[in-house]
Structure 1
């Protein structure tokens, strides 16, 4: 019996159906007074506050965010590179050693990467208090594990035949690995290293929204108090900084080989930049907070006993919390994957690519909690609204990826279909989207895993899912519930990671 399967280009569009249940809930809940507030907010972009006091506060807050991002990126990159090497099978095989140390380390790194940096920030805030380095550690801990996983996967997937040949001739293990594996690893190191810097800036802004300092705090306070002119003063600073970083990373990705030479030298350059970033970020933080330069004074929260854990487990509505978290993930992932393809299909002529690039940049700039706060100005809290905020931010990421892929691919197939008389939608769907669809769906599967982790972010603001229950437990110092919720969320994200990896490999191999 013949099984009918949707073609990959159609699978890129089908997730956009998530827009229907979201809009069914969101549109009727919009109130007229909120529309006026949205208009005032948009008009504030044309007249940002130029008050010297406001600008001075925003510039200092931006410095805190940049220093946090630089320090966290440098620390996580250096520690992630070391952990990637030690957790790679090829490292131990090249020395003739057993593989169990790498297996133990890989298992140990699963827990820190499964916990979102916001959860780390809230936990460290309870342990160390409001210290400038709390945000740095909250980003560096999960990022180190994420970097280690990605680079280790790349290292273990490389062809080992040249390495084995050199080892059999008597070459030292370290020299053989550098000679045979470094050239192939360089593109991944450079590309993912630059991507993590961009993520670190967004994470530093996000942590500020939840009270850990920096520009996110100023933006959140301005938005909540409806001071839109001040809000846009800070937002324009963030936009300028993000665009400058994006252009620098684009240059970094497109011209590293011609500019910096051999693979080994480019890897040393990256490690040098990571070290400089960690040092500069740390010194910058010390300059911004000279009175808080003392060592972190910590106090561990009380560990609950078995009876407290059992009691907390019966108090929590696990079924509804997990179902809401999964519903939020599915709706947001559908919007994130489907909207870019749908927009490109409906609008792909003239200046559409340039305008779309600006739209995707704007969507991925704001952290989801700030987007959700803006939506709440004219709407009621709901799971659909939280999914919309989370989906729009991730649509900005996927939209940029799709746009770059379409710009870089061969256009002859699309031109041939156009000359043959195909209509605009068909020629774009099968001439442009089809060659990109499998790679796009593979990254969409990875992004769904990221969205599952990020549900904690909008859950804290939108009052839904495990995120909402976690912040409620933290605010009441109900530590038994806190540890149970963190464990449940970690298990959920690790399961999502495994499913995402399997689906991504399926699309990449098909």
Structure 2
């Protein structure tokens, strides 16, 4: 049975989401939303794979950016994981992973331009923080007993390499493979800020109403993700990693003077740059907080809480689609296809598509976040439920779902949901670039107006907000005695 604390926590979050829903703008403003949706699905079922010569190059560069960025991020993350217990390192990693890849890309675009280094660093930096956190937790959970059995005088490095690494190698490899899949999604959406990956061509096709061309790109992306176990082999990884940099493309030469000017002038608050000192800084910060930061924080929190609960509801409804305790092989295969599509499509791309079809409001963002994250959690809980042994006289149908399986998987479900809370917050903030009034909207507006000082303050606020939600989620998981780091 479900414990009282978990039920109480769930009801509290449900109530908060319902209150937030009362303040949210979820109107469909498109003149013919269902007609537009029908045209989009028609384009998906009638894809045009030969309409653009650049699609193959975009896919290749999407893969190249992912491999280089994830490889660099995993290497730096592993080094940071070794000293992750240091409070300074923990805070540094929390900060860099709290800033979304698109925000990093927007920053680097200001002084690197459309250079491959922009895309590589935009993926590698936040992924370094993510890898450091997860790798350190995996290493900390490794059984230390084998190290005590080594002969006296064995060095620390030898002990680490011959006992701890072999003991957790499978977990490290599995998580890195999962993060590579995430890297492909991150690489794809970098195209929305102008880099030559899949998102650039997808946005172009949608803006021109070429739905068959857009459908072809989405299908190719799904095939790329779904076939990863086939073409991503351990023996081929060195070849991919060494070869990927040669397929990143070329950009204009980096002007290092622009880099220096960005850090010494552009991001310096204008009152300080103009010699007004602290007397001018306080009104400047007050104006920034009142006109941009507070509205952005409010909308980000509002959207995050609605999307979090919507994700949970969708995950609970979706996990029976692939569970061995429901339906036959055909139904489960269809469920797997549905969940692969939802969890493989980046939230940003889903939100962009729905915004084109339904018009600007929070509804496309809520649906996009719920579909993507609900697909991930639904897949994990469905796999877990398949391993549960039921007694021969167990009820069937809805009673099996309600009384047998949900109580057994609910704690794991909550652990996954609260673990992804901070991730949903990161995505909510960045969706503002699409025109939703979250923090990302004000960051993008400041950059468009060449107000980099305001943009950097807003990005720091976004990072602090994400860190706060991560800490709160960790506290709730600990309070409810949920698994702190749910394994995939």
TM-score, L = length of structure 2: 0.85
3-state DSSP of counterpart to 2:482: helix
Q: How far off its partner does 1:16 sit?
A: 11
Q: 1:330 maps to what in 2?
A: 305
Q: 1:97 maps to what in 2?
A: none
Q: 2:78 maps to what in 1?
A: 81
Q: Does 1:399 align with 2:386?
A: no
Q: How far off its partner does 1:212 sit?
A: 1.9
Match of 1:117 among 74, 89, 101: 101
3-state DSSP of counterpart to 1:136: helix
Q: Does 1:224 align with 2:207?
A: yes
Q: How far off its partner does 1:223 sit?
A: 1.1
Match of 2:246 among 278, 283, 308: 283
3-state DSSP of counterpart to 2:32: helix
Q: 1:366 maps to what in 2?
A: 345
**For the residues of structure 2 that align with 1:321 and 1:188, how far apart are their CA atoms?**
38
CA displacement, residues 392-448 of structure 1 (integer Å, 9 cap, x when unaligned): 2212222222222223x13324x5322xxxx52221233223322222211111111
**For the residues of structure 2 that align with 1:187 and 1:200, how far apart are their CA atoms?**
20
Match of 1:314 among 286, 307, 328: 286
Work out whether residues 99 and 462 of structure 2, in 8 Å CA contact, stay in contact via their aligned partners in 1. Answer: yes
Work out whether residues 320 and 382 of structure 2, in 8 Å CA contact, stay in contact via their aligned partners in 1. Answer: no
Q: How far off its partner does 1:55 sit?
A: 4.0
Work out whether residues 128 and 134 of structure 1, in 8 Å CA contact, stay in contact via their aligned partners in 2. Answer: yes
Q: 1:194 maps to what in 2?
A: 177
Which runs of structure 2 are paired with 1:4-403 in the superposition (5 Å)? 5=4, 11=10, 29=28, 31=30, 33-51=32-50, 54-85=51-82, 87-88=83-84, 102-164=86-148, 166=150, 169-245=152-228, 273=237, 276-285=239-248, 288-289=249-250, 292=251, 297=256, 298-299=258-259, 300-301=261-262, 302=266, 303-304=268-269, 305=272, 307=278, 309-316=281-288, 317=290, 318-344=293-319, 348-350=326-328, 351-403=330-382
3-state DSSP of counterpart to 2:142: coil
TM-score, L = length of structure 1: 0.81
3-state DSSP of counterpart to 1:360: helix
**For the residues of structure 2 that align with 1:309 and 1:191, how far apart are their CA atoms?**
48
CA displacement, residues 224-280 of structure 1 (integer Å, 9 cap, x when unaligned): 22110111121221121111015667xx8xxxxxxxxxxxxxxxx69x93x544322
Work out whether residues 357 and 403 of structure 1, in 8 Å CA contact, stay in contact via their aligned partners in 2. Answer: no
3-state DSSP of counterpart to 2:71: helix
Shift in alpha-carbon separation, 1:71–1:9, aligned structure 2, 3 A: farther
Match of 2:464 among 481, 491, 495: 491
Shift in alpha-carbon separation, 1:12–1:180, aligned structure 2, 3 A: farther
Work out whether residues 383 and 462 of structure 1, in 8 Å CA contact, stay in contact via their aligned partners in 2. Answer: no
- Mind listing any 5+ residue stretches in structure 2 that lack a counterpart? none
Q: 1:263 maps to what in 2?
A: none
CA RMSD of aligned residues (A): 3.2
CA displacement, residues 104-150 of structure 1 (integer Å, 9 cap, x when unaligned): 33333222112111110000001211112211110001101110111
3-state DSSP of counterpart to 2:393: helix
Match of 1:416 among 393, 396, 402: 393
Work out whether residues 346 and 425 of structure 1, in 8 Å CA contact, stay in contact via their aligned partners in 2. Answer: no
Work out whether residues 321 and 464 of structure 1, in 8 Å CA contact, stay in contact via their aligned partners in 2. Answer: yes
CA displacement, residues 351-383 of structure 1 (integer Å, 9 cap, x when unaligned): 443222222222223322332232223433223
**For the residues of structure 1 that align with 2:14 and 2:381, how far apart are their CA atoms?**
15
**For the residues of structure 1 that align with 2:73 and 2:450, how far apart are their CA atoms?**
30
Q: 1:96 maps to what in 2?
A: none
- Mind listing any 5+ residue stretches in structure 1 that lack a counterpart? 90-101, 253-268
State how many pairs are aligned.
462
Work out whether residues 340 and 399 of structure 1, in 8 Å CA contact, stay in contact via their aligned partners in 2. Answer: yes
3-state DSSP of counterpart to 1:279: helix
